[in-house]
Amino acid sequence: MTVTNLIIIKIIEIGPVIIIPSILFLVGFITTRKPLKNLKNSAFIFAGMLGFAILLTLFINFFKPIIDTIILNSPKKFEIIDIGWAASKEIILNSPITLQIIIGVFSLNIVMLLLRFTRTINIDIWNYWIFLLVGSIIFTITEIKWVGVLIALIVAAITLVLADIYAPFIGNYFAVMGVSNPQTQVVTWAPVSQLVNFIFNKIPGLKKAHIFYEEIQYKLGFFSEPMVMGFILGFVIGIITKYRNFQLNVWPNILYALLSGFKLAIIMILMPRLVTILLKGLHPAINDIREFINRKITKRVLYVGIDSIFFAGMPSVIGLSIIIIPLTAYIATILPGNKILPSADLIIIPFLLIWAV
């Protein structure tokens, strides 16, 4: 374990909530001559990301009782526990190639931009951790440093290309133009979603079905309001959580279900508002960066690589997550051969679902 590794881990542990606004704040001194505007944009981004991160944690914790109910009522014995980031941290912490990978990925991005192999400027330094993890795992297996670094660079190159390909999808759906998502663990699921959609379009009956969140929202009317939908879904989840002893304690269990409904309703009301605050700072910050690049460097259309946290709080994503998170736990109990108890990494589900909506 080197001093360099400890510094890198400490930076990663700070998390995107601090790192991304800080990077955009520093970049803002170059791209705009208005320091107060730069400070305001960064403050909005920080406030939105901090609030969303807190709510996302509450959102995931909301499902713990129903997941516990699902697990307890399953005859399956789980031998492997999902501990999430803790395992990745230990692998990266004990790797001797972390600094080489960071320098290599940063240099690769510049070279690919110069050679026009990518349009993405990856300012999301925090998400370098996935390249560090991949390279460190390969080194652990092969014990050859250059192989670990090479595989990490290949993964980074593929990630940048995929980020370019799917940037227009992000811009059109989430109305955030000029950005891409160079997160390996997220953007690699975009082709899978596209393939599933392609297959569905070839199935008679399904190909004529157009199920969009906006259409469902229009047809449901009052019941599609985040507060109402959150309360109804939360109440149902509360009832399911207590179904085994519901008749023994009817009123306490109904009260529990009502409180569950109120909790989820509050979360669903606040999340879109925090995303609005976040985007209020992101839009002008990204526009300043793009204008600076077009004015000083190149007229070529480039994308600013940002974290998927900017999109995971959209109502369509959160609405689908309410169904998928407990469903994931249930699938784990019936999937033949599965020995993993999903827990810590359930928090990534809203980020993956940005490609499903």
* Tens digits of pLDDT across the chain (357 residues): 567 777 777 777 777 888 888 888 988 888 887 888 889 999 999 999 999 889 988 988 898 888 888 888 877 777 777 777 667 777 877 788 988 999 999 999 999 999 999 999 998 777 788 898 999 999 999 989 999 999 999 999 999 999 999 999 988 888 788 899 999 989 999 999 889 888 888 887 776 666 666 666 666 666 667 788 888 888 988 888 887 776 777 788 889 889 999 999 999 889 888 888 988 998 888 888 888 888 888 888 889 998 888 888 887 888 888 888 888 888 888 888 888 878 777 888 888 888 877
Burial 246-271 (b: 16+ CB within 10 A, else e): beeeeeebeebbeebbbbbbbbbebb
* Dist CA 229 CA 320 (whole Å): 12
- Decide if 9 contacts 92 (C-beta within 8 A): yes
- Residue 284: CB atoms within 10 A of its CB come to 18
* Dist CA 123 CA 302 (whole Å): 12
- Residue 110: CB atoms within 10 A of its CB come to 11
Residues 6+ positions from 209 with CB-CB distance below 8 Å: none
Amino acid making up residue 46: F
First to last CA, the chain: 42
- Looking at residue 1, its pLDDT comes to 54
Partners of residue 305 on adjacent β-strands: 122, 180
- Looking at residue 163, its pLDDT comes to 94
CA distances from 67 to 12, 238, 327, 334 (A): 29, 11, 9, 14
- Decide if 342 contacts 78 (C-beta within 8 A): no
Amino acid making up residue 72: L
Among the listed residues 268, 279, 282, 349, the one whose alpha carbon sits nearest the alpha carbon of residue 315: 268
In the sheet with 120-122, reading across from the earlier edge strand, the strands are 120-122, 303-305, 179-180
Partners of residue 340 on adjacent β-strands: 80
CA distances from 334 to 60, 70, 71, 78, 289 (A): 22, 11, 10, 12, 49
- Decide if 181 contacts 160 (C-beta within 8 A): no
- Decide if 170 contacts 311 (C-beta within 8 A): yes
- Decide if 56 contacts 89 (C-beta within 8 A): no
- Looking at residue 215, its pLDDT comes to 66
Partners of residue 122 on adjacent β-strands: 305
- Looking at residue 330, its pLDDT comes to 85
- DSSP-based three-state secondary structure for 41: helix
